[in-house]
Structure 1
C-alpha cells in the first residue's frame, strides 16, 4: 500500500537511522574518552562507586604526603640522636682517660667541652619546618611532648577515618630551654614541670648511676614548684654524700674543679653512660617508627593502585570492542540512509500516475 499521507517505510527507516546515530555517538564518546561510564546517566551505581574510590585515592595521596613529612621529622631526630651518641662516647672515653693520675685534666676538659658543644649544635640543628624534637622549650604555648603521627586513612560505614599514632618525644629530649628560676644555681632549677616522662627517665638514670657500694649516689630533684629536670643533658643531679659545689649536669661537666676525685669522675662516667643508653633507646624508637611509617606509606600507595584498578574495571571502555562497534554502527548508518532514500522514493510512483 502506498499512501500520500503516511510513508510507513520511511518512518521505519528514520527510526533505524536515529538509533544507529545514537549508538554511533555513544561509541564515538567511549572511543575518544576511553570511559564507558562517564556520568551518572551512563550507570548511576557504577558512577557513584567509582567517584567514591576516586575521592579515596585523593585522600590516600594526601596521606602519603603527610606520612612523608612525619617521616622526615622522625629521620631528622634519629640522625641527631645518632650523632649525639657518637659525641657522648667521646665524653665517656675522656672521663675514662681522666681516671689516670698522670692525665692532663685541663686538656681532657677541652675535649669534653668540644664534644658537648657539638651535641648542643646537633640538637639545635635537628629541626624540620620549625619543629625540633631534641631541643625544646616546654613552657612555650602549644608545646606537647607527644607527637601525633599520621598513619592510615580508611572509610568505614560511609565515614572517612584518619588513624594516628602517638610518639612520646620526651624520651629523647636533650635540652629544654624552659624558664629558669630568678636565682640560677648549678642546675638552673625551674618551677616548670618536666616535659612528659622526663622526670621518671632521669630518676632511672640516677638509679642506674648509683650501684650498690658506689662512693656516691646520684639523685635528680623533682618536687612541686622546684625541679632540676630539664632535658637529658641539662638535667641537674645531686650527689650523696654532698660535695660542695659538685651538683652537676652533663652539659656542665667540669673535671678541672678543685677536689674532683677519681670517685667523682667515675660517678660522672656512670651518669654519662646511663644517659647514653637512654639516647640509644630513643634512637631505636625513632628507627622503628620510621620503618613503620615506611610500611604505612607503601601500603597507601598499593591501596591507591588497587582502587585505580577497581575504577578502571567499573568505568573504562574496552577500546577493541568499542572500535568494532563503531565500525558496525557506521555501516548501519550508511544502510539506514540508503533505506531512507529508497523509502522516500515510493511517493514518486504516485506522482507518476498524474503524468
Structure 2
C-alpha cells in the first residue's frame, strides 16, 4: 500500500542517517581531540579515574620539584661539610707542628684562629632557600617531601625523607644540646693534662693461688675527667679482649687515689657487656696512686689465654669546641690530648658527610622513581581514555561512505511519493 501520509521508507532512511551522523561526529571528535573519553558523558567511570590520576600526577610533579630543592640543600650541606673536614685536617697538622720543641705556638695559633673563623663561615654559608642544616638554633628533624601516596581508601599521604640535624650540624646553639660536631666541650673546660698518667706493661698474670690474678695499671694521680672527655684502654683476660672506657662527668670524675677511680673502674670492668657481671675484679689504689687490679683466675690453669694486660691507653674529648682551641700555653700532654680530640672530630665530620652522601643518593633515586611513576600513570590513563587513531581513521572512512549511502537512500525514499502523482495523470 502506498500512502502520502506516512512514508515508512523515508523514516527508516532518516533514522539510519541520523545514527550514522552521530557516530561520525563521535569519531571526528575522537580524531580531533585524540581522546576516546574526552568528557564524563563518554564514559563516566573512566573519565573519573583519569581525572583523579591526572590530578595526582600534577601533585607528583610538585613532589619532584620538592626533591630537587632537597637535593640542592643536601649538596650545599655536603660541600660545606667536606670543606670543613679539610680545614680540620689542616688544624690537626698545625697541632702536630706545635708539638715540636722550640716552636713559636703564638704564630701557629694565629693560623689556627683564621682556620677557626673559616669553619664558622662555612657553616653559616651552607644556606639554601633559607634553610641551613650545619648551623642551627636547635637540633631537629628536617623533612624533604619524597612521595605522594593515595591509599586504597582514597585518602592522601605524603612520604618524606627525614634528616636529623643533630647528627650533621657543625654548630648547634641550643643550650640543652652538645653544641654540634664542632661546638661541644670547651678546650679550657676539658682536662687534657695526663701528667703522671702511666700504664704498666702488659705482662703475664701473676697468679697467687687459684682464685686471683693481679696487674699494676700505673699511676693516675692528678687526672680529672670532665664531661665530654674519657680515658679508654684495652684489657685482655683469659683470651678475651675488651675496651674499658671511663667517661667524664658533670663536675669532673676524680681519678686520684682518694677519688672516684676505684668505683668507676670496677663498674666498667665488671659490666655485663665486658667480662661478665660476675667477673669479680677488684681495684685498689695505694698511697702513691698506684692502681692495681685483682680478679679471679681463669677456669683452667692450662688455658692459653692466661694473661691479664692493658694496651692502647688514650684520652679523648667528644664534641670538642673547635672554636675554643688556643694552644699558646698548652703543655705537651694537652697537645697530645687535643690531637686525639681533633682526630675524633674529623671522624665525626666524616661520618656526618657520609650520612649526607647517603641522603643525596636516596633523593636522586627517589627523583628517578617519581619520574618513572609519573610516566607509568600517564600510560595508564592513556589506556583508559586515549583514542586508537588507526581504528578511528578506519571508522571515519566507513561512516563517511555510510553517510553518503544514507543520503541517497533518503532521497530515493522521498522520491517514491512523487511517483504516486502518476496515478492521477490522464
Residue 11 (structure 1) shift:
0.5
Question: Partner of 1:295: helix, strand, or coil?
Answer: helix
Equivalent residues in 2 for 1:225-244, closer than 5 Å: none
Q: Which residue of 1 aligns with 2:415?
A: 345
Name the CA distance, whole Å, in 2 between partners of 1:106 and 1:202.
24
- The answer to whether structure 1 residue 169 and structure 2 residue 169 are counterparts is no
Instruction: Classify 1:241/1:114 alpha carbon distance in 2 versus 1 (closer, same or farther; 3 Å).
Output: farther
Which of 145, 150, 155 does residue 150 from structure 1 map onto? 145
Equivalent residues in 2 for 1:83-122, closer than 5 Å: 83-122=83-122
Q: Which runs of 5+ in 1 are unaligned?
A: 139-143, 179-191, 223-236, 243-247
Question: Partner of 2:226: helix, strand, or coil?
Answer: strand
CA contact (8 A) 1:202 1:220 kept: no
Name the CA distance, whole Å, in 2 between partners of 1:35 and 1:9.
36
Name the CA distance, whole Å, in 2 between partners of 1:220 and 1:130.
34
> Any idea what the Cα deviations from partners look like across 1:12-47, whole Å, max 9, x if unmatched?
110111011001100000001110011221112222
Q: Which residue of 2 aligns with 1:159?
A: 155
Residue 117 (structure 1) shift:
1.4
CA RMSD of aligned residues (A): 3.0
Name the CA distance, whole Å, in 1 between partners of 2:323 and 2:62.
41
Question: Partner of 1:75: helix, strand, or coil?
Answer: helix
Name the CA distance, whole Å, in 2 between partners of 1:312 and 1:113.
64
Greater per-residue helix proportion: 1
CA contact (8 A) 1:216 1:239 kept: no
- The answer to whether structure 1 residue 256 and structure 2 residue 328 are counterparts is yes
Query: What is the number of equivalent residue pairs in this alignment?
Result: 312
Name the CA distance, whole Å, in 1 between partners of 2:413 and 2:422.
16
Q: Which has the higher contact order (CA 8 A, sep 6+)?
A: 1
Which of 298, 318, 323 does residue 393 from structure 2 map onto? 323
Question: Partner of 2:37: helix, strand, or coil?
Answer: coil
Q: Which residue of 1 aligns with 2:70?
A: 70
Name the CA distance, whole Å, in 2 between partners of 1:210 and 1:301.
58
* TM-score, normalised by the number of residues in structure 2: 0.67
Instruction: Classify 1:131/1:250 alpha carbon distance in 2 versus 1 (closer, same or farther; 3 Å).
Output: same
Residue 345 (structure 1) shift:
0.6
CA contact (8 A) 1:149 1:164 kept: yes
Residue 106 (structure 1) shift:
2.4
* TM-score, normalised by the number of residues in structure 1: 0.80
Which of 186, 190, 194 does residue 177 from structure 2 map onto? 194
> Any idea what the Cα deviations from partners look like across 1:168-215, whole Å, max 9, x if unmatched?
11122222345xxxxxxxxxxxxx3117x959x958x999x8998598
Bigger Rg, structure 1 or 2? 2
Residue 8 (structure 1) shift:
0.6
Instruction: Classify 1:210/1:132 alpha carbon distance in 2 versus 1 (closer, same or farther; 3 Å).
Output: farther
Residue 137 (structure 1) shift:
2.1
Q: Which residue of 2 aligns with 1:129?
A: 129
Residue 266 (structure 1) shift:
1.5
Name the CA distance, whole Å, in 1 between partners of 2:356 and 2:72.
11
Question: Partner of 2:142: helix, strand, or coil?
Answer: strand
> Any idea what the Cα deviations from partners look like across 1:43-95, whole Å, max 9, x if unmatched?
12222222222122112111111111122212211111111000000000000
Q: Which residue of 1 aligns with 2:300?
A: none
CA contact (8 A) 2:141 2:164 kept: yes
Q: Which residue of 1 aligns with 2:344?
A: 274
CA contact (8 A) 2:63 2:147 kept: yes
CA contact (8 A) 2:150 2:156 kept: yes
CA contact (8 A) 1:221 1:238 kept: no
- The answer to whether structure 1 residue 295 and structure 2 residue 365 are counterparts is yes
Q: Which residue of 2 aligns with 1:44?
A: 44
Question: Partner of 2:143: helix, strand, or coil?
Answer: strand
Residue 146 (structure 1) shift:
1.5
Residue 273 (structure 1) shift:
1.3
Q: Which residue of 2 aligns with 1:234?
A: none
CA contact (8 A) 1:145 1:170 kept: yes
Greater per-residue strand proportion: 2
Q: Which residue of 2 aligns with 1:188?
A: none
